[in-house]
A and B are shown apart, each in its own frame.
Chain A
Amino acid sequence: MSIPVEKSKHEHPETRIAAKERRPVRTREDGKAYIKVYVWELPVRIFHWINAATILVMIVTGIYIGKPFLGPLVHEDATAFLMGWVRYIHFFAAFVFTANLLARWYWVFKGNKYATSNPAQKAFWVETWQTAKFYLFLRNKKPHYTGHNPLAQLSYWIFIGVGSILAMLTGYYLFFEPQPESLFGRMFSWVPMIFGDSFMIRSWHHLVAWGFIVFIVVHIYMAFREDWMERNGTMSSIFTGYKSEKKLKGKQHDDESTKE
C-alpha cells in the first residue's frame, strides 16, 4: 500500500481543540501506510452497547405505555399483566441505563482522551462550525479527527448528556409519583417546579424520547457515512475499539497535535 496523496485543494488546519491526555493512546501497525488507533476503550464500548440496548428497550416499551398498541393475547383475560410487565421492563431498563450512564461519567475522568470532551474552549465552537459546513458540503476548514469531531461531541452533549438528564429527572419523578413521602419521592419532589405539573412532566418525557429517536437515526447514518467515506473502520471500531489512520510523515498520528 502506498501513502495516499493529500487531495485537499485548500487549507485544512490541525485541530486546536485541547483534550486531556491521561495516557498515551495505544496504536498498532496496520501495513505500511496505516496505523490502528485504539480509540474506544473497553468501558466506552460496553457503555455504548448497554446504552443503545436500554434506550431501544425504553423506546419500544415507552411507546407502548403512551399508546398501548397491543392487547393481551387472550382477549378479555383480566388476569393478564401486559401493561404491568411492559412498565416493569421499562423501569428495569431505566435503572440499568442510569447505572451505565453514571459509570460512563466516571470514565470521563478516567478514560483516554477520546472519552472526554471539553466545549469550554473557543476552538471547540470554531471547529464545530467548520464541521457543520463540511456536512453541508460548503467550503470549510474542518480538521481531521481520529475520535469524535466537535459537532458529534456536541450532539452527545445535547442528547446523551442533557437529553438523558431530562429523561431521567422526569422519568424518576413519574416513577416515584405515587409515593411522594418516600426517600426517592422526596429526592425528585422539586422536579415539578422546573417542568410543571404531572401532565407537563409526562409531555417532557415523551418529547425527549422522540428526540432520542431522531438522534439514533442521524447517529446511525453518520456512523455508516463516516465508514463509507473514510474507510477507517468506524463501524467495526465500536466493536473492536480500533480505527485506522494513515501514517503521517514525521508523526505517529494526528494525536500529537492535540496534546495539551
Chain B
Amino acid sequence: MEKDMQTIYQSVLSRGFSRRDFLKMCAVLTASIGLDYSQNSEVVKAMEVSKRVPVIWLQLQDCTGCSESFIRSSHPKIESVLFNMISLEYTEALSAASGHQIEEARKHVIENYPGEYILAVEGSIPMHDEYLMIGGVSAKQTLLETAKHAKAILAYGSCSSWGGIPAAYPNPTGAKPITDIIKDKPIVRVPGCPPIAEVMTGVIAHLITFGTVPELDHHGRPKAFYRHRIHDKCNRRAFFDSGLFVESFDDEGAKQGYCLYKVGCKGPTTYNSCAEMRWNGGVSYPIQSGNPCIGCSESNFWDNGPFYTRMAKIPGTQTTINPEVVGAGVIGATVAGIAVHAAVTAVMNKKSDKSNKKDKVDTSDKGESREEDK
C-alpha cells in the first residue's frame, strides 16, 4: 500500500498526466462538487496535499445498480476517481479477490486506517439476520463493525438511504435504511435508484478534497445535488404552467413534449439533480426522453405508485388511492346517507304531527312541525 503515501497530485503525475491535465481535472471537479469556480484554487490546493483515501464499499440488500451507475461517471471520470482519488479496498462487484481474501482486506483497512477510511453502503439492512449473511456474518454486524471506525459514511442509493425497494410493501426482510442503525457517524444520503453517477463521485470528491461532509439538508442529503425538485428545473415546466398535458403516451401532446403530470410524473415531489445534470454524461433524463419521473430518490417511492397515475397516500399506510375517485365515492355515500336521514326525518315528523292532531294540541304554524324530541 505504499501508493497511499502519495498525494492525489503525485499519483496523477505518476500516471503520465501533466500539471495542465491535473488543473483541468480540478476544474471539472470543482464544478461537479457543485462549487463556484472561484473556489477552484482551493480544490487545486486540496488535491495537491490530500492523499488517496481508502474506501470500503459494502453491498447489502442491493441490486448492484448503484455500483453500475457509479462506474459510469464521466466528470470526474471514473478512472480518475478510482485510480487517483480513492483506493477502493473492498467491493464485491469490482474486486478480483473474493472470499476470505477480500474479507481480510476489509479488516485490514479497519485496523490500519481507523478514522480515515470512507464507508460507502449500497443496499438496505434486513432486520432478520438470516436474510443476508456475508462470510458467515450478518449484514447488520458487518455494517456496525465497518462503520465503527469510518471517517464518514455515504449511503449510496435509495436502499441504504430510505430502505428502498427491499423495504417496499410488504417488506418481508424487515429492511431498514442504514440511518436507522448507525446514529453516531456523519452519514451522507445520496438517494436515487440508482443515484446519478456524477452525484456519487461528486460527493466522494468533496469528502476527499475538503475532508468534511458537504452541506446537507434536513434529510441529510447534500444540498449541492438535492436542493431542487425536478419540477422546478424541468424542461417541460412551461407546458405545465400552460396547462398543456400529455393524456396518454400515444397522443399529440406526447409528440409535442407536453408536461407529463397527468401520466403520473412525480417530479413535483422529487428532489434530485436529473433535470440539471442528466444521465449518462448529460445526455438525457427520463422526463426529457418522454417518461414521467417515478420519484426514485424519494423515500417509499415504490409504494407511492402506480408510476403512471397521480395518487395520494393514506397517512400511516403504504396504500395509495386515487383521491378524486375515492372522494367522489365518499360524497356519494354521504349524499345517500343524507337522503335516508331526510326521509326518516320526514316520516317521524308526519307521525308526530298526526299524534299531535289526535291530541288536539294547538298547532300554530310555527310550532306544529317542531321536532318531537325538542
> Chain A residues in contact with chain B, CB under 8 A?
1-5, 7-9, 12, 33-34, 63, 66-68, 70-72, 75-84, 86, 134-135, 137, 139-140, 142, 144, 177-178, 180, 189, 192, 195-200, 202-204, 206-207, 210, 213-214, 217-218, 221, 225, 228-231, 244, 246
Contacts and interface: CB of A to CB of B under 8 A. Distances in A.
Given A78-B244, A218-B338, A207 B323 contact: yes
Contact of A231 (B238, B245, B314, B366): B366
A132 B352 CA distance: 20
B245 A178 contact: no
A78 B310 contact: no
Contacts of B256: 76
| Most chain B CB neighbours (cut-off 10 Å) among A70, A178, A180, A203 | A203
B139 to A, nearest CB: 25
Interface string B331-374: 10011001001101100110010001000011011111111111
B315 A229 contact: no
A198 B114 CA distance: 38
Contacts of B304: 199
B242 A66 contact: no
A200 B269 CA distance: 9
Interface of B: 217-218, 228-229, 232, 238-245, 252, 256, 261-262, 266, 268-271, 295, 298-300, 304, 310, 312-315, 320, 323-324, 326-327, 330-331, 334-335, 338, 341-342, 344-345, 348-349, 352, 356, 361-362, 364-374
Contacts, number: 163
A82 B315 contact: no
A12 B342 contact: no
A200 to B, nearest CB: 6
A66 B243 CA distance: 12
Given A66-B324, A71-B243, A246-B367, 11 more contacts: A7-B372, A8-B374, A12-B374, A71-B244, A72-B243, A72-B244, A80-B244, A83-B242, A84-B242, A135-B341, A199-B300
| Most chain B CB neighbours (cut-off 10 Å) among A7, A134, A196 | A7
B372 A8 contact: yes
A46 B299 CA distance: 43
Contact of A137 (B268, B320, B344, B356): B344
B253 to A, nearest CB: 9
Contacts of B298: 197-199
B352 A76 contact: no
B315 A7 contact: no
15 contacts: A1-B366, A2-B362, A4-B370, A7-B361, A12-B374, A63-B324, A71-B243, A78-B242, A80-B244, A84-B241, A195-B315, A200-B315, A204-B315, A213-B331, A228-B369
Contacts of B312: 202-203, 206-207
Contacts of B295: 199
A222 B138 CA distance: 61
Contacts of B330: 210, 214
A222 to B, nearest CB: 9
A210 B322 CA distance: 12
A124 B56 CA distance: 64
Nearest to B366: A231
Contacts of B356: 7
Contacts of A203: 312-315, 320, 323
